[in-house]
Every structure is written in C-alpha cells, then in structure tokens.
Amino acid sequence: MSATTLGETESESARASALLHALFSGSVTDPYPLYEELRELGDGIHWSDDMHAYAVFRYEDVRKIGSDPGLFSSDVFWQSPQSFHDPDNSEHRRFIEYNSRLFMFSDPPVHTRIRSIFRHAFTPQAIQAWRPLVEEVTAELLENYHVGDDIDIMPGFAADVPVALIAAILGVPKQKRSQFRAWSLAYALTFDPSVVGEARDQAITTTLELMDYLRELADERRAEPTDDLISLLVHTETTDGDHLQDVELLAQLTILLAAGNETTTSLIGNGLSILLDHPEARAELTADPSKLPTAIEEMLRYEAPLHFLFRKTTRETQLGDHVIPEGTVLLPSPGSANRDPRHFDNPDVFDISRPDNKHLTFFHGIHFCVGAPLARLEGAVVFEHLLKHYPDFSAGSEPALRTSHSNSPRTWKTRPVRL
C-alpha cells in the first residue's frame, strides 16, 4: 500500500485489516456490525489486501465518489481482461469486444453519448406504460404457487420475475423466454471472477448466442418497429445525433440483463425476509398497499443489493484523511453508507415511513442506476401481489441461508417460505 494515512493508529489499522479480511473472504453473513466499526475506525477508509483496494464506508465519502467521475473513473472492470480471458481465443476476443463497450464501465464522453439513448426509455411515462406488463408477468409467475406451498423463493419466483420482465419489455417472444433465461444466467456468470477455464469458455459461448439472438431482434425492429424497448433503443439517436454501432448497442442490451436481474432478485428475497422479521410493518402494508412505494425505498436502504462498487482514481487525491495515489482502486460501499448514523436517524431500524430517504443503493451522479424506476415498480407490484394473495406467508420449513461474500450481491442462497 502506498497511500499515506493520517490519524489512524497501528492498532486501529490492524483491527480494520482483520474486519476487512472477514468481509471479503466470505466468512460473515451479517456485515452491518463490521461496517459500524469500520466507519468509526480512523476516517472510515481502509485498505484491503484481499481486494487490493481502499474500501470506503461513510455516506459523505461514498457520495463524493459518485459526484466526481473525472476523479473517480468507472473504467475499471474490463481493464485487465487478460487475467481471465485468452486473447488467442476468438470467442473470448469477441466477448471482450462487446464488453469493453459497456457504458457502465465507461467515463464521459463515451458514457454520456451511450447513456443518452436511454433518455426516453426509463422516464416516468415509459414506466407507467409498463405497469400492466409488470402486473401480467408477476400474476402469471404466481400462478405456479398456491397458498400453503413450502417453497424456496430464490431460485424460483424471485429469480424468474426480473428475467421474464426484461424479456417482455425488450420484446423477446414468449416461446423464447426459457432460452432467454438460460442465456441470461450464463452472461451473469461471466462477471464472476471465480468462473475460469472450461466453465468460463462455456459461459462465453452461451453469451455470444445471446448476443447473436439480440442482433437478429435488433435488425428485425430496425426494419419493422414495435412498441418494445429494443425498437425504442435502435431508433433513439444519441445526443450527438448519431446511432450506436451494432456492437455498442448489443453490449448495452445485455448489460440491462446483468445489471437488473440479480439485483432485483435480491430486492425480492431481502424484502420478503424483512417483512417476515417486521410483522407490524407487514400488517400496515397489507392494510394499506399505497404505502408500498416508501416501504420499497426503505427495503432498498436497509438491505442494499450491492454493498460495494468499483472506481479508480485518475490522479492523486485526498479522501478523508488519506492521500490516495493515481490509479488506485476504491470500493465505495452503499451497504455501509445506508447505515451511517451521520446521515440517517436510527439507521438500523426498518421504518417504512422514513422521511427524506436518500439512500445510495442506486448510487449517485452520472452512473445513477438507469433501471431504478423499473426496479422500484417491480418491487411495488411484486409485494402488492404477495401480500394480497398470500397474506399469511411465514418462514418455510428449511433454514434460510444468506450469501456471505460482501463484494457479490447481498442476497440469499435459499429463502424458504410457506405461502
């Protein structure tokens, strides 16, 4: 580590290292007590040897990182694809060609130009227009379940909703949807650095099939537009007055799957668990579902699906008491920021009427989640249906198991529930 740290004693630094190792080695299922300690040790910014990065725990520092994309670059993820991709393998090369175009991992001006094609897609009007589709997809999936069923909601309903919905919104025909789900799962695997060798080759081959399919769909919609999202995106000009190249467009279509699926699945699993733990809140929402939008906001704050994001400094900078060198990776933590008592009163209390709930779950600044309005709508519709059709749902007979790697989504391996 080459940064200079002011105001942190050696014992504080050793304690912080031990807590970070516990977080990133996957031995902790409840990270919040650790975040509480890490926020208060020194300036709340600590080096992780496991992640080769500074993890940032306080609300104001996390927000500051989102506010300054010139200083805190998003061009970090695909920087060294050679670490798990083979430049001599033509499929790997094609895959990287797509993924290096993802606007999520780009800075302005590339990010600004690509993101501008979404400006008509996730507006309040567009979201309202999708509501009937969200209702239909949710109701259709719930037809598979009956009152009294003892099921694990994670691999079933919670995972099915976002995939079925994004497929429907994009305009993937119904008969292709199960294939689409398999493709989406394979694409999600390519973001997991522990997927290597043959497993990675397989995930990439399947992802390229998804890309080829989306290319066909985009070509069809260019020739004959419908009212789906692909039609909208192929016909929206960027703010520079041009259209995205094919490869750029396909990359952005697939990132909608990667960014929106597991996160929304986590929201459903986390939200359901929170309601099981807070029967008064649940009774209030069952009696008055109009309170659901603020309750969903609180679920998002209380259990953020993503606890760490990635950034890289473009020049030496001071953050907290640290002077951080150029080119250093930072891990701002929305999971910790959302529980920072400097910003939220009683942050560990789940309060469905919390006023002014400016959580950082969708982050902050130019990369603020494009799909946030859709995720909020999905959350509201899903919980309205669950509370209405299964008002007495309770914990299932098998134990619920949490995931434990803080740098992967905060979610459940299994979340059994009796409907």
Residues that bind ligand HEM (CB under 6 A): 74, 103-104, 115, 166, 255-256, 259-260, 263-264, 267, 305-306, 309, 361-363, 367, 369-371, 374-375
Alpha-carbon distance 138 to 157, whole Å?
9
Q: Which two tokens stand for residue 219?
A: 């070509």
Work out how close the CB of 362 gets to ligand HEM at its nearest, in angstroms, rounded to a whole number. Answer: 5
The distance of Cα 133 from the centroid of its chain, to the nearest Å, equals 22
Q: How far is the CB of 10 from ligand HEM (least distance, A)?
A: 33
**Cβ-based nearer residue to ligand HEM, 13 or 314:** 314
The encoded tokens of residue 339 equal: 């529980």
Closer Cβ to ligand HEM, 192 or 398, answer by number:
192
* Residues in the chain, overall count: 419
CA distance 168 to 156: 18
The two structure tokens encoding residue 370: 């494009």
- Indicate if the alpha-carbon torsion angle 244, 182, 407, 346 is positive or negative: positive
Residue 380 CB, nearest approach to ligand HEM (Å) = 12
Query: Which segments of 82-123 does DSSP mark as H helices, in order?
Result: 90-99, 110-115
In a 13 Å sphere around the CA of 273, the CA atoms on its Cβ side amount to: 24
CB of residue 163 to ligand HEM, shortest distance in Å: 11
Measured from the CB atom, the residue of 278 and 376 that comes closer to ligand HEM is 376
Q: Both tokens of residue 202?
A: 């397989």
Q: Which amino acid is at 82?
A: Q
Nearest CB to ligand HEM, comparing residues 305 and 347: 305
State which residue, 20 or 166, has the beta carbon closest to ligand HEM: 166
Question: What's the CA gap between 415 and 23, in Å, rounded?
Answer: 22
**In the complex, minimum distance from the CB of residue 329 to ligand HEM, in angstroms, rounded to a whole number:** 12
Are 76 and 192 a contacting pair, CB within 8 Å? no
Residue 310: closest CA among 43, 77, 80, 107: 77
> Which helix (H) or strand (E) covers residue 264, if one does?
helix 246-277
* Distance from the first to the final alpha carbon of the chain: 51
